A = this chain, B = another copy of it.
Amino acid sequence: MTGLRLRDLPTPALLLDRAALLRNLARLREAVRRHGVALRPHLKTAKSVEVAHLAAPGGGPITVSTLAEAHHFLAAGFRDQIYAVGIAPQKLDAVAALNARGAAVKVITDDLEVARAIAAHPGPLAALIEIDVGEGRGGVRPDDERLPALAAALGARLAGVLGHAGHSYAAFDAEAAAAVAETERAGLVRAAERLRALGHAVPVVSLGSSPTAQHARSLKGVTEVRAGVYMFGDLLQAQLGVGSVADIALSVLASVIGRRPERNAVLIDAGALALSTDRSTAAALKDFGYGLVVGEDGAPAFGEAIVTRVWQEHGLVEAAAPLPFDRLPVGARVRVLPNHACLTAAAHAQYHVVDGAEDRVVAVWPRVNFW
């Protein structure tokens, strides 16, 4: 308990609904558990020790996206980490230093020169080969001719293979998501089998994204699943079948700072900085602009009012149906549900934790932002 009431929070402020968070954690944990594989939550969305303890109870394993997260979560007792962004060689000293202090932070690469640098580094290191399972971001393809050379270069420091089906963010029904998940699984397993046929052990076969973790029908041959944004959910994930709009745990509390009855709009004090300029839902089934506006208690209150435009500290709220201006004086407070939780959360230093519609802040949880 903080003694703070929601109504007393200065705006804009980042809210995290603990009840929704716990529902989301349980839902994905169960989806992964039925496959009998490990869940390695990705902390890039939450960047919070308190969330990490809920999502990865018992101290891990976890996934991180920055060295700042790696340090922060190690200090909180999370030793078993994968740093799931292709490593630049000048960062190997920092990772080896963490491992020398008791961490087991694995790095990833798809580059032969980097693999050689990992193998030659004097400190304790282990690496996964990044596999491109169809998104076309990082990684070598499962059948790429470079795969054996990468494994040979890593030698005893090869810990396994890792992929991420980021293209699942365009799979708007369970059938399509399941198909992407199978491509992800099959690609990773194919890469692992090629390496095993060459005599490598390949203990870790790691894949995941929130949609594929939720919708995968088989994870045969996989050892662990990574996912992150499922913890909070957002307006894109809800359209990808990862929770629903009612399950979105993250929101931005904002105040009305101007009224435009003649154009059926209000201005709020949450703009590009408080909401982010992410437009993920522009390519989704339903476009929510920069976010969906709901009541101060988190319940739907204004039809489908959305933030249609942002400036640094201003957001313009518009709606197809007439806005209830009697309930929207300057000073009135609303919540904005995010398009993309990872980016909206990153705009804030901490979470004000609430429980459903109750008017109290039950905790303040800091984030480990920056690098």
Report A's interface with B, CB cutoff 8 A: 10-13, 44, 65-67, 85-91, 94, 109-111, 113-114, 136-138, 166, 255-259, 263, 267, 269, 272-274, 276-279, 311-314, 316, 329-331, 342-343, 346-349, 369-371
Chain B residues near A348: list those with CB within 8 A: 370
- For the residues of A in contact with B, the DSSP-based class is loop
In chain B, what residue has the closest Cβ to A45?
A: B312
- For A112, give the chain B residue with the smallest CB separation: B330
Query: With the chains together, A326 CA to B181 CA distance in Å?
Result: 36
Query: Complex formed: what's the CA distance from A110 to B255 in Å?
Result: 15
Tell me the complex Cα distance, A273–B110, Å: 23
Give the top 10 A-B pairs by smallest Cβ distance, nearest first: A86-B257, A88-B255, A111-B330, A89-B331, A86-B258, A85-B313, A138-B258, A88-B331, A349-B370, A277-B277
Q: Which residues of B contact A110 (CB under 8 A)?
A: 258
Question: Which one of B67, B312, B342, B369 lies within 8 Å of A342 (CB-CB)?
Answer: B312
Q: Which of B85, B330, B369 contacts A89 (CB 8 A)?
A: B330
Name the CB-closest residue of B to A271.
Answer: B85
Query: Chain B: which residue is nearest A109 at the CB level?
Result: B330
Kindly list chain B residues whose C-beta atoms are within 8 Å of the C-beta of A272: 278, 342-343
Contact A88 B277 (CB under 8 A): no
Given contacts A13-B371, A114-B331, A259-B111, whether A312 and B90 have CB atoms under 8 Å apart is no
Complex alpha-carbon distance, A311 and B84, angstroms = 13
Asked whether A85 lies within 8 Å of B257 as measured between CB atoms, the reply is yes
- Are A91 and B278 in contact, CB atoms less than 8 angstroms apart? no
User: A113 contacts B314, CB within 8 Å?
Assistant: no
23 A-B residue pairings within 8 Å (CB atoms): A10-B91, A10-B94, A10-B371, A13-B371, A44-B313, A85-B314, A86-B258, A86-B267, A86-B269, A88-B330, A89-B330, A90-B331, A91-B255, A109-B330, A111-B259, A113-B329, A114-B330, A136-B263, A138-B314, A276-B276, A276-B277, A277-B277, A277-B343
Contact in complex: B277, A312 (CB < 8 Å): no
Q: Which residue of B lies closest to A260 (CB)?
A: B136
CA distance A10 to B369 in the complex (A): 15
Assembled-state Cα–Cα distance A273/B311 (Å): 18
CB distance from A136 to the nearest CB of B (A): 8
With CB as the reference atom, state the residue of chain B lying closest to A7.
B90
A118 CB to nearest chain B CB (Å): 11
Q: How far apart are the CA atoms of A110 and B272 in the complex, in Å?
A: 22
Q: Which chain B residues border A111 with CB–CB below 8 Å?
A: 258-259, 330
